[in-house]
Amino acid sequence: MASMASDQGKAISDELNKLTVEQVRQVKEQVDGEVGLLQDSLSRIRTAAIRYEMAEKALNNFSQHPQGKQLLVPLTASLYVPGTLDNADKVLIDVGTGYYVEKSMSEGKEYCERKINFLKANHDKLVEVATEKKNAADQVNLVLQAKLRQVMSAK
């Protein structure tokens, strides 16, 4: 596996050596942009997974409270109003774009768990892609630095 990566790096390096300094700079900008997008995507996936984990914990917490229990209901991140737990057996699940689905407590927990597993699997795949892109960006940067040294020594 390591020799395959080094062979790939050598092939990238050979192709980049055929380009002009300006072309290598353009490739570097493109690859750096792709790395940035991948890192943003990783961050968004982690944030979404954390939200689903918090929702799953909240469902576990609700399932332990009796009907009629007084609690604070979040309307926004910083605004809570007093409320009474009416039915802990049914929950509304936000499935996106403003749509909500009523599910049983166990179905709600299963939904959160499925989403967490899906996001973690995508996160792992994206980490692999981001690592490959980062390695390519490093390779492009090395070639660019070498080309710039050649230009400076030729002057």
Per-residue model confidence (pLDDT) at position 155: 67
Identify the three-state secondary structure at position 12: helix
In the 8-state DSSP scheme, what is residue 104?
E
Q: Is residue 78 part of a domain?
A: yes
Instruction: State the residue range of the domain holding 114.
Output: 35-154
- Residue whose structure tokens are 């996106």: 96
Answer whether 17's CB lies under 8 Å from 133's CB. Answer: no
Q: Does residue 20 sit within a domain?
A: no
Any idea what the CATH number is for the domain that residue 128 is in? 1.10.287.370
Please report whether residue 1 resides in a domain.
no
Name the burial class of residue 16, with classes exposed (0-12), middle (13-18) and buried (19+) by CB atoms within 10 angstroms of its CB. buried
Per-residue pLDDT of the chain (155 residues; tens, 9 = 90+): 445 555 665 666 677 777 788 888 898 899 999 999 999 999 999 999 999 999 999 888 887 877 888 888 888 889 999 998 888 788 888 888 889 999 999 999 999 999 999 999 999 999 999 999 999 888 888 888 888 888 788 76
Instruction: Return all residues near 34 (Cβ < 8 A) that are at least 6 apart.
Output: 133
**Which pTM does this prediction carry?**
0.72
Tell me, rounded to whole angstroms, the distance of Cα 94 from its chain centroid.
Answer: 20
| Secondary structure in 3-state letters for 123-151 | HHHHHHHHHHHHHHHHHHHHHHHHHHHHH
Give a yes or no: residue 65 inside a domain: yes
- The answer to the question of residue 28 being in a domain is no
State the Cα–Cα distance between residues 46 and 40, nearest whole angstrom.
10
The predicted structure's pLDDT at residue 127: 93
Listed in sequence order, the residues at least 6 apart from 25 whose beta carbon sits closer than 8 Å to its beta carbon are 144
CA atoms of 32 and 11, how far apart (whole Å): 19
Count of structural domains, the chain: 1
Residue 96 is assigned to a structural domain of this protein: yes
Residue 69 lies in a domain: yes
CA distance 36 to 129: 12
Counts for the chain of helices (H) and strands (E), in that order? 3, 4
Look at residue 111 and tell me if it is in a domain: yes
